[in-house]
Structure 1
Amino acid sequence: MSLLEVKDLKVGFRQDGAVTQAVHGVSFSVDRGETVALVGESGSGKSVTALSTVSLLGDSAIVEGSVTYDGQQMIGANDKLLRKVRGNDISFIFQEPMTSLNPLHTLEKQLTESIELHQGLRGAAVRERILELLNRVGIRDPESRLGAYPHQLSGGQRQRVMIAMALSNKPDVLIADEPTTALDVTIQAQILELLAELKREENMGLLFITHDLGVVRRIADRVCVMKDGEIVETGPTSEIFDNPQHDYTKKLLGAAPSGVPDPVPEGAETLVETHGLRIWFPIQKGLLKRTVGHVKAVNEADIEVRRGETLGIVGESGSGKTTLALALMRLIESEGEMRFEGEDMRAWSTRQLRRKRSDIQIVFQDPVGSLSPRMTCEQIIAEGLGVHGNPDGRPVRELVAEVMREVELNPETMDRYPHEFSGGQRQRIAIARAMILRPKLVVLDEPTSALDMTVQVQIVDLLRRLQVKHGLTYLFISHDLAVVRAMSHKVVVMKQGDIVEYGASEDIFNAPKTEYAKTLLQAALDLTV
Structure 2
Amino acid sequence: MSPILKVENLRVSFHQDGTVTEVVRSVSFALSRGETVALVGESGSGKSVSALSVVSLLGDSARVSGSVTYAGQQMIGASPKLLRKVRGNDISFIFQEPMTSLNPLHTIERQLSESLALHQGLQGEAARARIIELLERVGIRDAAARLGAYPHQLSGGQRQRVMIAMALANKPDILIADEPTTALDVTIQAQILELLAELKEQEGLGLLFITHDLGIVRRIADRVCVMKDGEIVEAGPAAEIFAAPEHPYTRKLLAAEPAGLPAEPEARATEIVRTEGLRVWFPIQRGFLKRTTGHVKAVNHANIAVREGETLGLVGESGSGKTTLALAIMRLIASEGQLTFDGQDMRGWSTRTLRRFRSEMQIVFQDPFGSLSPRMTCEQIIAEGLGIHRVDPSRNRRELVAEMMGETGLDPAMMHRYPHEFSGGQRQRIAIARAMVLRPRLLVLDEPTSALDRTVQVQIVELLRGLQRKYGLAYLFISHDLRVVRAMSHKVAVMRAGDIVEYGPAAEVFDNPATDYTRKLIKAAV
Rounded Cα–Cα distance in structure 2 between residues aligned with 1:462 and 1:490: 19
- 1:107-126 paired onto structure 2 within 5 Å: 107-126=108-127
Counterpart in the other structure of 1:473: 474
Give, in angstroms, the shift of residue 392 of structure 1. 4.6
Counterpart in the other structure of 2:60: 59
Give, in angstroms, the shift of residue 61 of structure 1. 0.2
Rounded Cα–Cα distance in structure 2 between residues aligned with 1:148 and 1:478: 28
Rounded Cα–Cα distance in structure 2 between residues aligned with 1:297 and 1:230: 47
Question: How big is each residue's C-alpha offset from its partner over 1:489-518, in whole Å with a ceiling of 9 and x where there is no partner?
Answer: 000000111100000000001100000001
Q: Which amino acid aligns with 2:395?
A: R
Counterpart in the other structure of 1:217: 218
Q: Which amino acid aligns with 2:141?
A: R
Rounded Cα–Cα distance in structure 2 between residues aligned with 1:286 and 1:396: 53
Rounded Cα–Cα distance in structure 2 between residues aligned with 1:141 and 1:203: 27
Counterpart in the other structure of 1:91: 92
Look up the SS of the partner of 2:379 in the other structure.
Answer: helix
Counterpart in the other structure of 2:375: 374
Counterpart in the other structure of 1:14: 15
Rounded Cα–Cα distance in structure 1 between residues aligned with 2:55 and 2:322: 40
Rounded Cα–Cα distance in structure 2 between residues aligned with 1:144 and 1:497: 25
Rounded Cα–Cα distance in structure 1 between residues aligned with 2:189 and 2:385: 36
Counterpart in the other structure of 2:25: 24
Question: How big is each residue's C-alpha offset from its partner over 1:97-118, in whole Å with a ceiling of 9 and x where there is no partner?
Answer: 0110011111111111111111
Rounded Cα–Cα distance in structure 1 between residues aligned with 2:393 and 2:471: 16
Rounded Cα–Cα distance in structure 2 between residues aligned with 1:430 and 1:226: 28
Counterpart in the other structure of 1:39: 40
Counterpart in the other structure of 2:4: 3
Rounded Cα–Cα distance in structure 1 between residues aligned with 2:291 and 2:146: 24
- 1:267-282 paired onto structure 2 within 5 Å: 267-282=268-283
Give, in angstroms, the shift of residue 352 of structure 1. 1.0
Counterpart in the other structure of 2:209: 208
Counterpart in the other structure of 1:460: 461
Q: Which amino acid aligns with 1:246?
A: H
Counterpart in the other structure of 2:511: 510
Counterpart in the other structure of 1:396: 397
Look up the SS of the partner of 2:216 in the other structure.
Answer: helix
Counterpart in the other structure of 2:298: 297
Rounded Cα–Cα distance in structure 1 between residues aligned with 2:353 and 2:17: 51
Question: How big is each residue's C-alpha offset from its partner over 1:327-364, in whole Å with a ceiling of 9 and x where there is no partner?
Answer: 11111111111100111111111111111111110000
Give, in angstroms, the shift of residue 315 of structure 1. 0.3
Give, in angstroms, the shift of residue 152 of structure 1. 1.0
Q: How many residue pairs get matched?
A: 525
Counterpart in the other structure of 2:486: 485
Question: How big is each residue's C-alpha offset from its partner over 1:467-502, in whole Å with a ceiling of 9 and x where there is no partner?
Answer: 011110000000000000000000000011110000
Look up the SS of the partner of 2:347 in the other structure.
Answer: helix
Give, in angstroms, the shift of residue 142 of structure 1. 1.0
Rounded Cα–Cα distance in structure 2 between residues aligned with 1:316 and 1:233: 35
Output the TM-score relative to the length of structure 2.
Answer: 0.99
Counterpart in the other structure of 2:339: 338
Question: How big is each residue's C-alpha offset from its partner over 1:41-75, in whole Å with a ceiling of 9 and x where there is no partner?
Answer: 00000000000000011100010101111111111
Look up the SS of the partner of 2:6 in the other structure.
Answer: strand
Give, in angstroms, the shift of residue 390 of structure 1. 2.9
Look up the SS of the partner of 1:196 in the other structure.
Answer: helix
Look up the SS of the partner of 1:305 in the other structure.
Answer: strand
Rounded Cα–Cα distance in structure 1 between residues aligned with 2:452 and 2:352: 37
Look up the SS of the partner of 1:268 in the other structure.
Answer: coil
Rounded Cα–Cα distance in structure 2 between residues aligned with 1:396 and 1:14: 39
Q: Which amino acid aligns with 1:443?
A: V
Question: How big is each residue's C-alpha offset from its partner over 1:226-248, in whole Å with a ceiling of 9 and x where there is no partner?
Answer: 00000000000000000100000
Rounded Cα–Cα distance in structure 1 between residues aligned with 2:123 and 2:17: 47
Rounded Cα–Cα distance in structure 1 between residues aligned with 2:289 and 2:98: 35
Counterpart in the other structure of 2:248: 247
Rounded Cα–Cα distance in structure 2 between residues aligned with 1:354 and 1:105: 41
Q: Which amino acid aligns with 2:24?
A: V
Q: Which amino acid aligns with 1:473?
A: A
Q: Which amino acid aligns with 1:505?
A: A
Rounded Cα–Cα distance in structure 1 between residues aligned with 2:178 and 2:443: 32
Q: Which amino acid aligns with 1:496?
A: A
Rounded Cα–Cα distance in structure 2 between residues aligned with 1:494 and 1:15: 49
Runs of 4+ displaced beyond 6 Å: none
Rounded Cα–Cα distance in structure 1 between residues aligned with 2:391 and 2:271: 27
Look up the SS of the partner of 2:380 in the other structure.
Answer: helix
Question: How big is each residue's C-alpha offset from its partner over 1:148-167, in whole Å with a ceiling of 9 and x where there is no partner?
Answer: 11111111111001001111
Counterpart in the other structure of 2:140: 139
Rounded Cα–Cα distance in structure 2 between residues aligned with 1:333 and 1:373: 30
Look up the SS of the partner of 1:26 in the other structure.
Answer: strand
Look up the SS of the partner of 2:233 in the other structure.
Answer: strand
Q: Which amino acid aligns with 1:335?
A: E
Look up the SS of the partner of 1:451 in the other structure.
Answer: coil
Question: How big is each residue's C-alpha offset from its partner over 1:203-251, in whole Å with a ceiling of 9 and x where there is no partner?
Answer: 0100000000000010100000000000000000000000100000000
Question: How big is each residue's C-alpha offset from its partner over 1:112-150, in whole Å with a ceiling of 9 and x where there is no partner?
Answer: 111111110010011101100110000111111111111
Unaligned runs of 5+ in 1: none
Give, in angstroms, the shift of residue 15 of structure 1. 2.0
Q: Which amino acid aligns with 1:420?
A: E
Rounded Cα–Cα distance in structure 2 between residues aligned with 1:46 and 1:372: 28
Rounded Cα–Cα distance in structure 2 between residues aligned with 1:438 and 1:420: 26
Rounded Cα–Cα distance in structure 1 between residues aligned with 2:339 and 2:392: 27
Look up the SS of the partner of 2:10 in the other structure.
Answer: strand
Look up the SS of the partner of 1:232 in the other structure.
Answer: strand
Counterpart in the other structure of 1:313: 314
Give, in angstroms, the shift of residue 386 of structure 1. 2.0
Rounded Cα–Cα distance in structure 2 between residues aligned with 1:18 and 1:151: 40
Q: Which amino acid aligns with 2:4?
A: L
